[in-house]
Amino acid sequence: MPKIKTHSATKKRFALTASGKVKCAHMNKRHILTKKSAKRKRQLRNTAYAHKTCMAAVKTLLPYA
* Amino acid (one-letter) located at 16: L
Please count the other Cβ atoms lying within 10 Å of the Cβ belonging to residue 22.
23
Where in the sequence is the domain holding 49, given as residue range(s)?
A: 8-61
Cβ atoms 65, 18 nearer than 8 A: no
Residue 1 domain-assigned (yes or no): no
Q: How many domains does the chain have?
A: 1
pLDDT for 15-61, tens place per residue? 999 999 999 999 999 999 999 999 999 999 999 999 999 999 999 99
Residue 2 domain-assigned (yes or no): no
CATH of the domain at 52: 4.10.410.60
Report the predicted TM-score, pTM, of the whole model to 2 decimal places.
Answer: 0.81
Going 22 to 10 to 15 to 20, the CA torsion angle's sign is: positive
